[in-house]
């Protein structure tokens, strides 16, 4: 039941701006305002989950987060073999909040600049904000996210830390997609004579990116044979080992990282 509610809520959030742009004659600025609110609201709801899970089920990942790609660099060894921390202690919530909220702030500034540029270039119809539609769209997005959040609260105490990390990664991925799309797409809009068509393409691509994050991810234990054979033929790609061996080492390192984050938290003296 929780999965069904989560799927319906995700599809509802995705559908709100799509419905507004293609059927309710929302302007580009109106649709962007709803997208921006959606990103900020998703970040805040994730921070709420993290804060409650940190309180109800304290894991090492909350207070001493071991991020992907950082498996070998967390500690350095002293002469007597004891481990000493090589970087300051970082919480997952602070890391997630700084990255996501910083990008959201940049998005807001960048959107203002792009909309001003579009208005200056004579496409004011695209930048007119329909505040009533913005309010209704944001209210609908918030309603779907609130239902999803309340359903998650019923089992949040039993969640592994990895589940929180995956949801946070999906939100961060969405933030990055929006940022890159705005950076490239709206610069194209500003210098072309077809802003409406390009904005429609933006809405479609944004929707596809969101849908892809809602689908199950393929994570094979072994790489496809064709991929391994192809990369084994690349000179000096992984000197001294086959790609399958490299893949296995990466999988082992990732598993160890996840297990380290799942350990019960014991504050350091």
Q: How far apart are CA 214 and CA 198, in angstroms?
A: 25
Nearest to 198 by CA among 189, 206, 190, 207: 189
pLDDT digits (tens, 9 = 90+) for 39-89: 899 999 999 999 999 999 999 999 988 887 665 444 433 333 344 444 445
Predicted TM-score of the model (pTM): 0.79
What is the rounded distance in angstroms from the CA atom of residue 143 to the CA atom of residue 85? Answer: 43
Would you write out the chain's pLDDT as a tens digit for each of its 269 residues? Answer: 778 888 899 899 989 998 998 888 888 778 888 888 998 999 999 999 999 999 999 999 999 888 876 654 444 333 333 444 444 456 899 888 998 888 888 878 877 776 776 666 655 566 677 889 999 999 999 999 999 999 999 999 999 999 999 888 888 877 777 666 666 666 666 566 556 666 676 777 777 777 776 666 667 767 777 777 776 777 765 566 777 777 788 888 888 989 999 999 877 65
Residues 235 and 192: beta-carbon distance below 8 Å:
no
Confirm if 66 and 74 have CB atoms less than 8 A apart. Answer: yes
Burial environment of residue 143 by CB neighbours within 10 A (0 to 12, 13 to 18, 19 or more): middle
Distance CA 181, CA 222 (A): 33
């Amino acid at each position: 039941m929780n999965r069904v509610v989560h799927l319906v809520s995700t599809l509802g959030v995705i559908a709100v701006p799509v419905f507004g742009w293609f059927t309710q004659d929302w302007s580009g600025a109106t649709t962007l305002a709803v997208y921006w609110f959606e990103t900020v609201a998703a970040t805040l709801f994730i921070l709420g989950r993290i804060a409650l899970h940190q309180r109800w089920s304290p894991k090492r990942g909350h207070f001493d987060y071991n991020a992907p790609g950082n498996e070998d660099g967390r500690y350095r060894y002293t002469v007597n073999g004891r481990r000493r921390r090589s970087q300051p202690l970082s919480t997952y919530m602070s890391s997630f909040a700084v990255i996501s909220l910083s990008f959201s702030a940049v998005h807001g500034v960048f959107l203002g600049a792009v909309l001003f540029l579009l208005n200056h270039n004579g496409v004011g119809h695209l930048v007119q904000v329909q505040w009533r539609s913005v309010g209704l769209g944001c209210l609908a997005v918030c309603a779907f996210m609130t239902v999803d959040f309340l359903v998650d609260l019923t089992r949040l105490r039993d969640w592994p830390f990895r589940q929180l990390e995956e949801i946070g990664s999906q939100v961060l991925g969405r933030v990055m997609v929006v940022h890159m799309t705005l950076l490239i797409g709206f610069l194209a809009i500003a210098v072309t004579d077809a802003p409406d068509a390009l904005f429609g393409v933006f809405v479609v691509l944004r929707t596809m990116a969101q849908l892809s994050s809602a689908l199950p991810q393929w994570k094979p234990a072994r790489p496809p044979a064709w991929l391994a054979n192809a990369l084994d033929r690349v000179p000096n790609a992984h000197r001294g080992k086959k790609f399958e061996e490299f893949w296995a080492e990466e999988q082992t390192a990732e598993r160890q990282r996840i297990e380290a984050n799942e350990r019960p938290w014991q504050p350091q003296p």
